[in-house]
Structure 1
Amino acid sequence: MPRAATSPGWIDFYSHSRLSADAAEVFRDLRNPKAALAWHKQPAAMPSESEALTRSVGMRLAIVGTAHFQSRTRCVTTRRARGHLRTAQL
C-alpha cells in the first residue's frame, strides 16, 4: 500500500503482516497459544519465502511451532490435573 505524502518513511515498516507476526510472538511469550495461532492465521501474516528474508520466515515458523507445542502441553497438563482432581474426590 503506498504511503501518503505526509507520512514519515519509517511507517512502512509497520505493515499488517509485521504487526500480525509481532502479535503472534507476544502471545506465544505470554503462553497464550490460542491467541498466537489466531494472529498467525491473519491474512498475509507470513509472506512467502520469495517475499521475505529466510530468517524472518524461520522465526515465524519457530513461533508457530512453539505455540503448537504450548497448546499440546496445556492439554496434557489439563488432563493430568483433572485426573488428580477425580482421584482426590474419591
Structure 2
Amino acid sequence: RVGANPWFVVLASVLCTVVLGGVLLVRPLSLLTDPVDLWAQPGSRSVRDKALFDRDFGPFWRTQMLIVRARGGRGAVQYEVLRDVLEWQLVAEGMKVVC
C-alpha cells in the first residue's frame, strides 16, 4: 500500500527531517567529552576527590594504548617491529605536554 504511493513516503521523510531539525535548532545538543562528567554525578565524592588530587598534585593524565600490527600479515613479535615500537616509545616518552 505504501509502495503504491511513494509521495507519501517522501513527504513523511521530509516532514520528519524538518521537525527534528527544528527541535535541534530550538534545543541544541550538548556533547560531554570529559569522562568525569560522563560517569560521575556532579558534586559526588569521587568528583571532589579528583578535584582535590588535581589541585594538590596536578592533573592526572590517562595512558593511551597503541595497537601495533606488522605489515604483510607477519607477526608483531619480530626484531624489526619491536625495534620500531621501542623507537616510537622513546619519542613518546620524550614529549612534553603543556596545558
TM-score range, shorter chain: under 0.3
Greater RCO (CA < 8 Å, at least 6 residues apart): 1
